Amino acid sequence: MGFGPTFMLFETVFPILFIVVFLLVLGAFVYTIGYSVFRGIKNQKSPELVRTAKVVSKRTEVGSYGSHRHHHQTHHMHTGVRTYTRYFVTFELEDRSREEFQVTDRDYGLLVEGDEGRLFSRGTRFQGFERYR
């Protein structure tokens, strides 16, 4: 009593497909963590730079992660979704080049387009900005 070629195909392909997808997800996870650690170490070893700069633009990035669940009997939406906001400021340096840094919400609120001063950075990390008086 056999189940036919379709069942045999499912029995042989599904385990291989499952392993491939699992390895891809695991690889992406390991890559993301490794890249973050590598970038942090590289930033830590970089010298702190102090440069004259001007704030030329500001932007935010809003996103969310999590899941929505709809309870069919009560028609209520249960949400495990969390939102986040990332803050970015672009500085123009003396040589007219521009660099964008992710900053805290506090720094974002204190900086105004057109501000001129001294930009403190270490690698790709924003360290601070001291406005000229």
pLDDT digits (tens, 9 = 90+) for 81-101: 889 999 999 999 999 999 999
Q: How far apart are CA 112 and CA 57, in angstroms?
A: 8
Q: What pLDDT sits at residue 8?
A: 67
Q: In which residue are the tokens 């969310």 written?
A: 64
Q: Is the pTM of this model over 0.75?
A: no
Say yes or no to pLDDT of 2 above 70.
no
Query: How many helices (H) and strands (E) would you count in the chain?
Result: 2, 7
Question: What dihedral do alpha carbons 65, 128, 123, 38 form, nearest 10°?
Answer: -40
Q: What pLDDT band is residue 55 in, cutting at 50, 70 and 90?
A: very high
